[in-house]
Structure formats: C-alpha cells, structure tokens
C-alpha cells in the first residue's frame, strides 16, 4: 500500500497526485512513467512522472473512466494498492539545440521534467501549452522556470494564440530555426502535431499512451507499429518518432475496450450515487 500525500484538481477533470515512496527517485529520469492501481479491482494505469524527490513521486491524470474516477476521489492519507516504476525509456537528451516542447491536457504536466532536463543540457527551450480555453491551462509559472520562451494557445482565443497548435507552429517557424519538436498529450494532439511537422521536415518526438497491463513487455497490449515494425510502448517507449508511428492502427486500438469502459463507469456511478 502507498499513502497519498496530496490529491488536487488543478483544472477541471485534471488532477495532481503525490504518492509517498522513498525509492523511485533513485532511478527516475525525464520521460519515464509509473504504473498505479487504485485498489484490488482497479486497472493498472500508466502515468507520466511529472516530478519526484526522496519522499514522493508526482503524477498528473485526467478522469476518463472508473479507475481514474476513483483516483480523483482520493484524499490525503488514503492509500493506493500499487505503485511501480520508474518504467519505460527516458527521453533521449541532446545538447545545444533549439527545441519546441508542446503539451496539452495531462501532457502539460508531463512536459515539466523533460524541459527541465533539456534546459540542463544547454538547449534553447520554447514551450507551448494548448487547450480549448484559458481555464484549462496550468503550470505556466513552473514551466517558465526552465523555458526560454513560453506561449499559450487556446482554441477559443481567450489567451495567447487563437486556434489549434498549427497556427503557432506555422507562424513561429517562419522566422526561427528549430531542431526538434517534442509533444506530450492526448493521441489526437500527438497525431496532429506529427502531421504538421512532417510537412515541415522537423524531427518530432511524441509520448504515446496506448493501453497497458503489465508494463514490462510481456502482455503485448501496448504494441504500436513504428516504421512497419511492432514495438511495445512500455519497454521500447513511451516516446517515439512521430513521423514513424502507424497512427490509424494506434487510434483504432485506443478504442478497443470503449464499450466495456462505459459499462464499468456506469456501474461505478450507480453504486456510488445510487
């Protein structure tokens, strides 16, 4: 059992969860993840490490189904059943380059350790956070600490650039040389960014979030197709070249258990609220 030190809703439907542990920090690196399980009946959920220290690890998650709804109801002092990590391959570090780091939804928080590591490796870091509206953006001050420039993109125009991320990318890259684009967020965002940057010819690394179970490469549930080859996001990723991902395959697999997820959530809500 692992004790919850903090659970905070930072914007609607997005939560910060700080979990007590005294060993994960010893090997944790930017780009890695942990697996959490809220109780004996819960799913094993892979969540990006967004921060860590000698006493705890921090993750950010979005409420989408039964298990994340249960996570969102936790209070300080509660316990979760499972915490395993760090898992996955860390972000590949480069030096003295210009990097645009893009985050949306839970991916905004996932950017934090990555841009920190990029900055510590003497890179120029341009951070762009995007959302439907300004009230869905968060952690700008934390991200600014390791960013040379920080931009906000909202689809409704309530803050920063109006529209999708392509508006910002197309305008920014007219006048600036960029060596790498790094993106964290929902599958649609990583797909969309990859399509834009492919036409621009700029290398793009994306964090993928396929369904996982054991997260050690044995079950095969998190398989993705990269350059025509089968890879496992848990041990070969979770970060891949966005231009090499078989996006139709990944998008289809993300919906494999959609009906079961809806039934589970409906049953949970009925039990909880009557």
Partnered with residue 124 across adjacent β-strands are 98
| Alpha carbon distance 208, 214 (integer Å) | 16
SS3 state at 67: helix
Residue 266, token pair as written in the block = 């409906």
Integer CA distances (angstroms), 61 to 15, 42, 156, in order: 5, 15, 23
Binding residues: 219, 222, 234
Residue 72, token pair as written in the block = 């969102």
| Residue ranges of E strands in the chain | 2-11, 14-20, 33-37, 45-52, 56-62, 79-80, 82-87, 98-104, 124-131, 149-154, 161-162, 180-184, 204-207, 223-226, 229-232, 239-241
Binding residues for [2Fe-2S] cluster: 219, 222, 234
Per the listing, tokens 């979005």 go with 62
């Amino acid at each position: 059992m692992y004790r919850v030190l903090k659970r905070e809703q930072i914007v609607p439907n997005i939560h910060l969860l700080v979990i007590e542990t005294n060993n994960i920090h010893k090997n944790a690196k930017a780009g890695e993840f942990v697996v959490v399980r809220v109780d004996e009946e819960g799913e094993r959920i892979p969540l990006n490490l967004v921060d860590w220290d000698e006493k705890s690890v921090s993750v950010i998650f979005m409420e989408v189904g039964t298990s994340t709804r249960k996570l969102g109801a936790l209070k300080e002092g509660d316990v979760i059943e499972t915490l395993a990590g760090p898992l996955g391959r860390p972000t590949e570090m480069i030096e003295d380059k210009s990097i645009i780091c893009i985050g949306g939804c839970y991916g905004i928080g996932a950017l934090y350790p990555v841009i920190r590591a990029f900055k510590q490796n003497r890179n120029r870091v341009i951070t762009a956070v995007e959302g439907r509206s300004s009230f869905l953006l968060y952690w700008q001050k934390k991200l600014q600490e390791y960013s040379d420039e920080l931009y906000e993109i909202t689809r409704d125009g309530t803050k920063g650039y109006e529209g999708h991320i392509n508006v910002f990318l197309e305008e920014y890259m007219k006048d600036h040389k960029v060596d790498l684009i790094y993106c964290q967020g929902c599958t649609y965002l990583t797909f969309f960014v990859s399509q834009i940057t492919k036409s621009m010819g700029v290398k793009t690394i994306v964090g993928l979030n396929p369904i996982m179970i054991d997260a050690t490469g044995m079950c095969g549930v998190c398989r993705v197709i990269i350059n025509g080859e089968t890879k496992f996001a848990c041990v070969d990723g979770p970060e891949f070249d966005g231009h090499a991902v078989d996006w139709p395959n990944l998008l289809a697999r993300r919906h494999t258990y959609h009906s079961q997820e809806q039934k589970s959530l409906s049953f949970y809500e009925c039990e909880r609220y009557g």
